[in-house]
Structure 1
């Protein structure tokens, strides 16, 4: 029995050391998933894949295939509630969505609707209950009002992972309500990134990049009210917003607002939110000190950052969070990260290029019952960040099981010796 106990103790110690070593190791990172620019232009790969007459548009409900997007929408077999999938490629079409469908591109970067510099409207949505996802829309006329996307007289329209560029106006919401614009990009348009007009109310614009437009968001109509804007990144627009004649709208989620590249206030309590020169742009009481990003850690949980660095190679391996940060050499960098407790509910250890930040960052006062927020600083170069629990829960479980087994065996040996 003594030999068994010694052997079991040795095995337990070996398992413990192995698991700790695995947790602490950097491990190979996943291929780059998301790159957030520190400032200036958002860079995307330039891809042009032309389609001929191949049937590259598919109704997933009927199984039928089409050569153009408009044909797939117009046919009688396409009904409200259907999903139209569009293969990657460049489509020189002016599309009108007149049915309550889901229109999905294969890839947000290389599924392109191109107006060839001639269109006054590339994608028009004129009915309610529509979703458009994973498209790039570009290249309207530049010399007169024209629109990359128009949502008119509609409700419950969702734009998700859409990029609109090189258009007179990227997106116009006209007499539309209860619409969502999420995780999209409006960049390098000729006049406006987004324009709300004519009684457009109760819309939500969240988590978008609004970059290098003459005016980022325009609201010149007092009937446009109760629209909500937060966690957007306003970067290097000549005028970030023009809301001179707008009705009352909301520019935060009651805790956090938007990132503004021209904000020059101070964060007095190191929580990633500006505390001076408020409200910024006369609207935002909680301006973010760094660019906002939302990463899919798992299919269920997201990890969100506010950071003044470029973030790349984000990865969650089931135990630890890994990502790289970069910026101008020698400048000060910071990251405030929001971690779901259901994903990592521990005291966290943060490593920068293998060196632990001490003392360990503690959860900020804004942490709540579901999420922890931590904040840390570093000096810019190219740094690898690793965040792990102080003592991962799976190790606790393993050691608890081992300790219990050892206790039972010792107890049995003691009883046996007593009986003898």
Structure 2
């Protein structure tokens, strides 16, 4: 039996080694696609940003590999390939090599597309005993990914559908791994004592789908009313409108930047409406009064471009700065509904070109006027003289004298400009536009 296994793995090793030069690989960070047919902007974001950032936060290597079965030896399963690639490619975090991988083995079709049998994919996990059970984790991830591996999505008729199913499967894998480790086996980066103290509860603990008040800023009645309004907007406008209140966003282990943390929370929780997961989310972290906004999905980004984000922010952020939490969320929901309505009518909120045109015209006129005045100043008045003595000086002739300018010194005066911010007060803060990793948004203080 051992000889058969050794022969199988040796054949597999030789096959993969010899075929590497001819493979048309596409690499998206932590995602490798041998088919070169499943690429999308969302998949690229997942591979280059979401999975690497979660890997750092969870101390768990997250990988996705898509192979073809053209050169795979008969009898080799997806599980065999997943095991070999994980170990041979140096996957895993730390000395224990903690990690989880999703492996797909696809079959090429004559038209250039690919199909995937429901048995030709595998979830492989390794986890140290101090953090949990690797087999249990792989089972949970398998159950989370399985709904997106149906034959209907992978029959080769539409690779766009397959690509979307893959993105959903990757999101499910990431969210399940994050939930498993955050709930029972927090990493050092997640501050175990903070998680255990309840300062970083899960979003689902509120029983809400759109208004996550993990800080208790709203009464039960206010939260339920705002939840109903947000759900109504999501159903009517096909865009999720989310609000998140937390005590300290850094307690979730996603770093010290509020925008990056919100971006990862959005994907880890699988937020968004529709296949493109369209949505807008704002986060207010009360400890240091940090604020962030994140917009994701083609439809949402059309309705809320960078200018629209700033206009949206102006509708509600001042209310949060003043401590009126209910009014802030209410104004936020109303503004989102208004902006989405305008976008549906083909009139999204956009900056007007008229001010820029007016400034350009005014500057052009000013420059033209100055040029004309300079030219006029250089001209001499000329009139016709009747007598010859008009063209001579009073002294009876033309006299030229020398004139010299001598440079002596320059006097420079400086004055210190004092700040009028004063001491003891708290700045109302400000926000800046942010992007990266797919989607865009803003962050700052409130």
TM-score by length of 2: 0.29
Greater fraction of residues in strand? 1
TM-score by length of 1: 0.31
Greater fraction of residues in helix? 2
Query: Which structure would you say has the larger RCO, counting Cα contacts within 8 Å and 6 or more residues apart?
Result: 2
